[in-house]
């Protein structure tokens, strides 16, 4: 029902610098555990953005990653509508239609030449609120760029998202976001 986010994780704008990593093909998958057992996935490929190493040699990245929440798919039309309209409220106010990850910091990876496993911390803006998220990240060479896989939990009450419930069945308060995408300079 409302488990999206992402989460997401994750990505942002166009770039011109040779050090800028532009997001290409990607997917956001949010796993929503049900209060009665079981789970379902919410997915989208509407992920874009760019990041570049921040100046000063820090582990920070400038830029952001953006997910269009209006494109989230659960596999069931009524659940899609409830997710977008009742829980994420994508039409409520400007900015509610996207989830944006910014202020990204890497740990265990060089932002100038990222490759391998590490972790990240970022600021996730969702449903009009911003909270810090953190999780593992794996960056591997792929073609002319890299393939990035990151994941993190999202606590729905922390974003003032109404408890997803329909006919007594609901989604647990924490959903798991997994983002996979390609980047190139």
Residues whose CB is less than 8 angstroms from the CB of residue 132 and which lie 6 or more positions away in sequence, other chains included? 121, 122, 123, 124
In this structure, are residues 37 and 9 in contact, taking their beta carbons and an 8 Å threshold? no
Residues whose CB is less than 8 angstroms from the CB of residue 96 and which lie 6 or more positions away in sequence, other chains included? 69, 88, 89, 90, 127, 128
Tens-digit pLDDT profile for residues 74-85 = 999 999 999 999
Place of tokens 């993190």: 152
Q: Is the pLDDT of residue 3 over 60?
A: no
Side-chain-facing half-sphere of 112: CA atoms under 13 Å: 4
Instruction: Return d(Cα 90, Cα 96) in angstroms, integer.
Output: 5
Domains in the chain, CATH or no CATH each: 21-184 (2.40.128.110)
Residue 114's pLDDT band, with cuts at 50, 70 and 90, is confident
Residues whose CB is less than 8 angstroms from the CB of residue 99 and which lie 6 or more positions away in sequence, other chains included? 4, 5, 6, 7, 8, 9, 10, 66, 67, 69, 124, 125, 126
Residue 18's pLDDT band, with cuts at 50, 70 and 90, is low
Instruction: Return d(Cα 154, Cα 15) in angstroms, integer.
Output: 28
Structure tokens at 78: 């009524």
Q: How much is the pTM?
A: 0.88
Is 120 strand, coil or helix?
strand
The overall average pLDDT reported for the chain is 89
């Amino acid at each position: 029902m409302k488990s999206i986010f992402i989460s997401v994780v994750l990505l942002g704008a166009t770039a011109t610098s040779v050090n800028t990593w532009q997001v290409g093909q990607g997917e956001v998958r949010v796993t929503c555990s049900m209060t009665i057992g079981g789970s379902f996935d919410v997915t989208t490929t509407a992920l874009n953005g760019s990041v570049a190493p921040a100046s000063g040699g820090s582990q920070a990245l400038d830029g952001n990653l953006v997910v269009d929440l209006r494109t989230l798919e659960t596999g069931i039309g009524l659940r899609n509508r409830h997710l977008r309209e009742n829980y994420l409220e994508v039409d409520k106010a400007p900015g509610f239609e996207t989830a944006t990850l910014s202020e990204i910091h890497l740990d265990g990876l060089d932002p100038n030449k990222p490759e391998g496993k590490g972790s990240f911390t970022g600021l996730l803006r969702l449903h009009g609120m911003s909270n810090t998220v953190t999780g593992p990240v794996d960056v591997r060479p792929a073609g002319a760029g890299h393939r990035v896989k990151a994941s993190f939990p999202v606590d729905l009450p922390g974003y003032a998202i109404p408890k997803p419930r329909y006919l007594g069945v609901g989604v647990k308060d924490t959903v798991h976001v997994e983002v996979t995408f390609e980047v190139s300079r």
